[in-house]
Amino acid sequence: MLIPQLSAAESALCILLIGMAQVGGQEDGEKTTALKDLLSRIDLDELMKKDEPPFTFPKTLEEFEYAFNEHGQLRHIKTGEPFIFNAREDLHRWNQKRYEALGEIITQYVYELLETKCNLTKAILPLDATVDEPFTFVYLSPNALSNPSKLLVLIQGSGVVRAGQWARRLIINQDLDSGTQIPFITRAMEEGYSVMVLNPNENFLEVEKPSSTLPSQTEPLDEPAEKKERRDDKEGKKRREFYEKYRNPQKETETERIPIRENTSSEEHVLYVWDHFVSKAAAKNVFIVAHSYGGLSFVELMNHRETEVRNKVCAVALTDSAHNIWLQETSKSTQDWMQQHCCNWVSSPEPLDTPLDSMLPDCPRVSAGSWGYAGVSQLTSGERRGTPWTSRQPIGGHI
């Protein structure tokens, strides 16, 4: 008779059932004690982890066997199918790690497009960063500081997205035009704008912590009993952690974050870029597009540089902005300025540009013509009607 090979989790379940059968004839009190002892010796979560494939994933799209087609859609090279998240059934943690690994490749791919297709260049931040300290960067068009006419500044939301991206999910599951800022950049440059692409989510350098080592076995002489007990507890915990890592190679690597000077948050990054780039640009007219948390960061910029922003910025297009003028304690003058120069396109089932009720007295809200996502790409999709929403020429009238 052939005995099928069972996974670790299936084996554990069999052991549990056998154990329960064995204690079936015992008294209730004895049953409870026996089952507790049995369960304490079976860690199903750990055994499930041991069934996971290693967390080693391809480093390029080609190795992943995916590529972007002529429509900017991510497709499998052999089958032509869209990306499948659940590549392995019942292995959610492994599937999530695989998705994140692909996302890192997508980030580098978008950087390449910004440099090759859009002809943008990196500017390292902080400007006086030393060789040894962590740094971030923004992307600039060749005439970003010298164009005397128009400058477009792009600020994405929070999360894993980096320079040039609106939403990783849309890049992977829909297309490059929906999930990246490239349509904004190309259209803006065609119409005479210079461009700055901010990178507000790269705020730290993540490095792996040194490997734990077994504690020394030597004991101090004449150590008080209470102190010895505390030390034994601490060393016992270290020893357990050490053996856990040895026993479970799938445990995630421990890391620590080193903050990037003067760019430790989205708000700080936007302020730094304003002070060192936007405020020094020759452009008489600055236009800003800010998505989600980027809208909050813009309002924080106004709280710190209100007069400068009012004098230099013509219009701001917000999409599903996360700002709150009450919680951020904006001034009455800022609120009045936002009423005249800002517009917030929000997720709504209503047709594009349909006016919506605003809960706060900050800026007009209109429908983005989509439900569940503001669809920032629709501002450049050709569906914009160019309805004026500011006393000056709005960005909607151009791009």
Q: Which residues are catalytic?
A: 292
> 12: number of CA atoms within 13 Å, CB side?
17
4 Cβ neighbours under 8 A, 6+ residues apart? none
- The tokens for 30 are 């004895």
Q: How far apart are CA 32 and CA 26, in angstroms?
A: 9
Q: From the CB of residue 395, how many other CB atoms can be counted at a distance below 10 Å? A: 25
Q: Alpha carbon of 298 to those of 68, 158, 211, 265, 306: distances in Å?
A: 33, 13, 41, 13, 11
State the maximum Cα–Cα separation within the chain, in Å, rounded to a whole number.
89
CB 345 within 8 A of CB 319: yes
d(CA 42, CA 34): 13
Contact in structure between 260 and 125 (CB atoms under 8 Å):
yes
Closest listed residue to residue 273, CA positions, set 107, 398, 156: 156
- The SS3 assignment for 384 reads coil
Q: CA 266 → CA 152, 292, 295, 322, 334, distances in Å?
A: 18, 12, 10, 13, 20
